[in-house]
Amino acid sequence: MTDKVFLIGLGGAGTEIVRNIRATADDLFVYRCLDVTLNGSVTEENHDPAWAKFFDPSIPSLNLFYNFRQMTSDRLRDPSVLHSSLEENCRKYSLDYQVALICGLGQTIGATSIVTFAAALSHNTKLNQPSSINCAAFGTTPFDFEGDNIKKTSQETIAGLRNILPEAKIRILNNQDLMLGSRDLTSSDGNIILHNAVKDQITTYFSLDRVNQSLKHRWFEDYLLVRLITKALTLLQKKLDQTVPAKGTDKAR
């Protein structure tokens, strides 16, 4: 079994999370991203070489971005496009991968591809038996303000994963609950908390004992630091307000 975990970011949200985790320079992971983008260079005609590299653990980082003019979320559902490529290539180098699938559950590309990845990696159709690949899904749910349609997509994606993976292999992070009571945080601060929370879930699930402890709980420490600074600034502002003399008051005689 490879001692590293493949972090596979699916769609825009999954890609952003993987990139953020990679910025910690953690060498426990092999970084992969799949998305459909405006300047994507991968098409159905040339994707075989890209997929051959995708599961090669000797390549530390790889983005597989399809060109949006050809690839859509509906096409990704076609077994001949994604499912067959996954099954064919993931076993070329090892039968014992550890894989963390990461996505925003309400986003179209991520929601579509994470179910396909889970199905392809968890069952060996050639042998008609469960795969030896240790595959787990890590998804983030949408915020309330993102609307009912995205919430519905998220719920359907979770249901799809539960039809494929055991409950223990599905880890859901609720954005709304994670940011509860943190309205004064910027989006950048929120992303730090979210992305490090995902990393903490992954390192816990795969029991990565070599994880640097200062990084393992960094998301919580960052959250506490931001809250401490915010509180200090609020107290300082109140102090300044109290020292400013009120207008129109008479000076002491």
Spell out the domain ranges in the chain.
5-243
Q: Which of 128, 129, 132 is nearest to 95 (CA)?
A: 132
Residue 14 Ramachandran class (φ > 0 left, ψ -120 to 50 alpha, else beta): alpha
212 — pLDDT class (breaks 50, 70, 90): very low
pLDDT exceeds cutoff 90 at 245: no
pLDDT, one tens digit per residue, over 165-174 is 999 999 998 8
Dihedral Cα 86, 87, 90, 95, nearest 10 deg: 150
Q: What percent of the chain has pLDDT over 70?
A: 72
What pLDDT shows up at residue 216? 42
pLDDT exceeds cutoff 60 at 4: yes
Task: Classify domain 5-243 at the CATH superfamily level.
Answer: Tubulin/FtsZ, GTPase domain (3.40.50.1440)
